[in-house]
């Protein structure tokens, strides 16, 4: 059997894995990147909206050229019955074509010295005193028998997406079976199509009083969490449709929502591309590392759950991991990896977990209650921009005039909202107090209190 030795082996070549491999190679490590599909098919292949300002903060060139479909467009949010609306003039979102973007991350990683193994699936670990030291992979090149290969490394990074393939083989990281129920998963599909009748597309926009290029986001047609977004290109030649809903039998799936919308609008023509999958919505994993293993991206639930956005959080996590292990004699050492866990939980973890309370509150709302959020001014521009930029909302948003007005008009609804929002700053504070060092007792106490706060 072939054997290779690296400092670090990263599994999964989506944004989290390709970004991690790049940053870790730039930090001077000998890195392997292992992907079960062909590299050219790894990770998302559709269009994702990403808040572009984040890239400079993690030292990554922002998407450019053919990686960008459209930048800084307006967004109009609608209630399900289209009766209520909220216009956000400049969202700061960039529609990123993920295929060329992930290709670039991989190219830069290989140029930095990363060694790639594609069509190669993680099988299992060899453990020494509970620490993985060798990963066995099986590489299945076209027309050949699968070849087993042993990868020896001091750190194994799980960036295998929602599968969490490595995580599930490490006792300290394995999720209990009930940890992620279907109500914490979103099924989503993004599809781009030609527009066959530009005049009819223009009528569709005129009826909603929005300009071409605006992202129309209809909230709550399939339960409180769901969204159906439609964006007709400025030249009326194409349309992008994104739909997502909670993975429960009573709701249409993202795929069904897109299909239904296309059938109802005959001006939508042939599909250009589409892609989809399941997005984990639950707060980030409490435990992100074990000796010899770190988890990043969807595998760690590092997703801004309110709108199911995982691209920027996974790249931010990749950067924090590379910073934490830089210059370490053993990048898989428990205390070294804990620096990544604490840096993540104290910053991004605090944000993602706080917002997850709001996601859970809003997904239980009916379409009519979502419409109330618009009417009462609770769904306002500042709140939506905080969500897009992935920052905490200003305290005035949760204790301000609109909240008071809601309390007067609809005390029961206001009470439920306050119960949920009031915990957000508590959760944020608690995550900021994530233990700095791997102290079992302190960590257990931290987890217990997080659970009491509902995250
Ligand atoms: C339809 C849709 C729309 C979305 N829209 C947005 C958006 O607008 N903005 C945004 O920020 N996010 C969006 N997301 C979420 C975003 O795409 C994910 O959060 C992001 O891709 C996560 O990256 P990742 O690298 O962690 O995982 P993935 O992209 O899932 O990559 C994991 C990789 O690991 C590989 N792998 C799995 N198992 C193994 C194994 N055993 N061995 C080797 N390799 C393995 C997989 O083949 C895959 O290539 C959307 C998701 C969907 C489905």
Instruction: Check whether residue 290 and residue 364 sit in a common domain.
Output: no
pLDDT of residue 180: 60
The 10s digit of each residue's pLDDT in 90-105 is: 888 999 999 999 999 9
pLDDT of residue 179: 61
Of the residues 280, 310, 331, the one at which a domain ends: 280
Residue 70 lies in a domain: no
Instruction: Check whether residue 247 and residue 294 sit in a common domain.
Output: no
pLDDT of residue 381: 87
Instruction: Give the integer Cα–Cα distance in Å for 270 and 34.
Output: 35
Residue 63 lies in a domain: no
Residue 173 lies in a domain: yes
Instruction: Check whether residue 197 and residue 156 sit in a common domain.
Output: no
pLDDT of residue 49: 95
**Considering only CA atoms, which of 420, 445, 419 is closest in space to residue 430?**
445
Instruction: Give the integer Cα–Cα distance in Å for 151 and 92.
Output: 42
Residue 62 lies in a domain: no
Instruction: Give the integer Cα–Cα distance in Å for 284 and 350.
Output: 9
Residue 49 lies in a domain: no
| CA–centroid distance for 358 within its chain | 16
Instruction: Check whether residue 346 and residue 213 sit in a common domain.
Output: no
Instruction: Check whether residue 267 and residue 366 sit in a common domain.
Output: no
Instruction: Check whether residue 261 and residue 291 sit in a common domain.
Output: no
Instruction: Give the integer Cα–Cα distance in Å for 50 and 311.
Output: 7
CA of 298 from ligand 1 middle (Å) equals 6
Structure tokens, 75: 């967004």
Instruction: Check whether residue 124 and residue 30 sit in a common domain.
Output: yes
pLDDT of residue 103: 98
pLDDT of residue 396: 55
Which residue puts its alpha carbon closest to atom 16 of ligand 1?
310
Question: For residue 320, what are the domain limits?
Answer: 2-43+98-178+283-351
Q: Which of 12, 69, 117 to mutate to test the pocket of ligand 1 (most atoms within 8 A of CB)?
A: 12
Residue 127 lies in a domain: yes
Instruction: Give the integer Cα–Cα distance in Å for 75 and 86.
Output: 8
CB-count exposure of residue 127 (10 Å: 0-12, 13-18, 19+): middle
Those residues whose C-beta lies under 8 Å from the C-beta of residue 246, and which sit 6 or more positions away, are: 182, 183, 185, 186, 222, 223, 225, 226, 281, 363
* pTM (2 d.p.): 0.95
Of the residues 258, 280, 302, the one at which a domain ends: 280
pLDDT of residue 152: 98
The 10s digit of each residue's pLDDT in 214-229 is: 999 999 999 889 999 9
Q: Which residues of the chain have pLDDT under 50?
A: none
Instruction: Give the integer Cα–Cα distance in Å for 208 and 148.
Output: 57
Domain count, the chain: 3
Instruction: Check whether residue 190 and residue 260 sit in a common domain.
Output: yes
Which residue puts its alpha carbon closest to atom 38 of ligand 1?
160
Pocket of ligand 1, beta carbon within 6 A: 11-17, 34-37, 42-44, 46, 48-50, 121-122, 159-161, 163, 165, 188-190, 242, 276-277, 279, 297-299, 303, 308-312, 314
Q: Which of 119, 310, 312 to mutate to test the pocket of ligand 1 (most atoms within 8 A of CB)?
A: 310
Residue pair 19/60 in contact (Cβ under 8 Å)? The answer is yes
CA of 190 from ligand 1 middle (Å) equals 13
Instruction: Check whether residue 229 and residue 374 sit in a common domain.
Output: no
Residue 390 lies in a domain: yes
Residue 153 lies in a domain: yes
Beta strands in 233-369 (DSSP E): 238-246, 268-280, 289-290, 293-295
Instruction: Check whether residue 29 and residue 114 sit in a common domain.
Output: yes
Instruction: Check whether residue 247 and residue 206 sit in a common domain.
Output: yes
pLDDT of residue 388: 87
Instruction: Check whether residue 235 and residue 333 sit in a common domain.
Output: no
pLDDT of residue 403: 61
Of the residues 299, 324, 351, the one at which a domain ends: 351
pLDDT of residue 26: 98
């Amino acid at each position: 059997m072939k054997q290779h030795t690296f400092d670090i082996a990263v599994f999964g070549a989506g944004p989290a894995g390709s970004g991690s491999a790049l940053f870790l190679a730039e930090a001077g490590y000998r890195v392997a990147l292992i992907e079960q599909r062909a590299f050219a098919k790894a990770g998302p292949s559709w269009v994702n909206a990403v808040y572009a300002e984040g890239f400079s903060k993690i030292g990554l060139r922002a998407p450019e050229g053919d990686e960008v479909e459209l930048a800084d467009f307006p967004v109009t949010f609608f209630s399900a019955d289209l009766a209520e609306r909220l216009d956000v003039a400049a969202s700061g979102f960039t529609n990123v074509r993920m295929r060329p973007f992930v290709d670039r991350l991989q190219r830069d990683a290989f140029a930095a010295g990363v060694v790639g193994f594609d069509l190669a699936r993680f099988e299992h670990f060899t453990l020494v005193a509970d620490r993985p030291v060798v990963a066995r992979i099986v590489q299945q090149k076209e027309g050949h028998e699968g070849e087993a290969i042993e990868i020896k490394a001091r750190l194994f990074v799980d960036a295998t997406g929602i599968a969490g393939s490595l995580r599930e083989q490490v006792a300290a990281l394995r999720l209990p079976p009930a940890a992620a129920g279907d109500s914490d998963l979103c099924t989503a599909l993004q599809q781009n199509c030609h527009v066959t009748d530009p005049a009819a597309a223009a009528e569709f926009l005129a009826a909603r009083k929005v300009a071409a290029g605006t992202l129309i986001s209809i909230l709550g047609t399939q339960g409180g969490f769901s969204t159906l977004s439609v964006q007709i290109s400025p030249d009326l030649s194409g349309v992008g449709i994104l739909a997502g809903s909670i993975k429960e039998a009573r709701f249409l799936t993202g795929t069904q929502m897109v299909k239904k919308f296309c059938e109802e609008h005959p001006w939508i023509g042939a599909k250009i591309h589409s892609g989809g999958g399941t997005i984990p919505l639950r707060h980030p994993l409490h435990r992100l590392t074990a000796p010899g293993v770190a988890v990043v991206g969807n595998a760690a639930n590092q997703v801004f759950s309110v709108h199911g956005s995982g691209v920027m959080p996974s790249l931010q996590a990749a950067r924090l991991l590379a910073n934490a292990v830089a210059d370490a004699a053993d990048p898989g050492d428990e205390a070294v990896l804990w620096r990544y866990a604490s840096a993540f939980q104290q910053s991004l973890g605090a944000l993602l977990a706080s917002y997850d309370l709001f996601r859970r509150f809003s997904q239980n709302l009916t379409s009519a209650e979502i419409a109330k959020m618009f009417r009462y001014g609770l769904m306002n521009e500042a709140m939506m921009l905080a969500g897009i930029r992935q920052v905490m909302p200003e305290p005035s948003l949760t204790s301000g005039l609109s909240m008071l007005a809601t309390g007067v008009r609809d005390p029961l609804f206001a009470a439920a909202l306050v119960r949920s929002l009031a915990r957000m700053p508590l959760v944020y504070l608690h995550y900021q107090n994530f233990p700095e060092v791997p102290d079992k007792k302190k960590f257990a106490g931290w987890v217990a209190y997080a659970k009491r706060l509902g995250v």
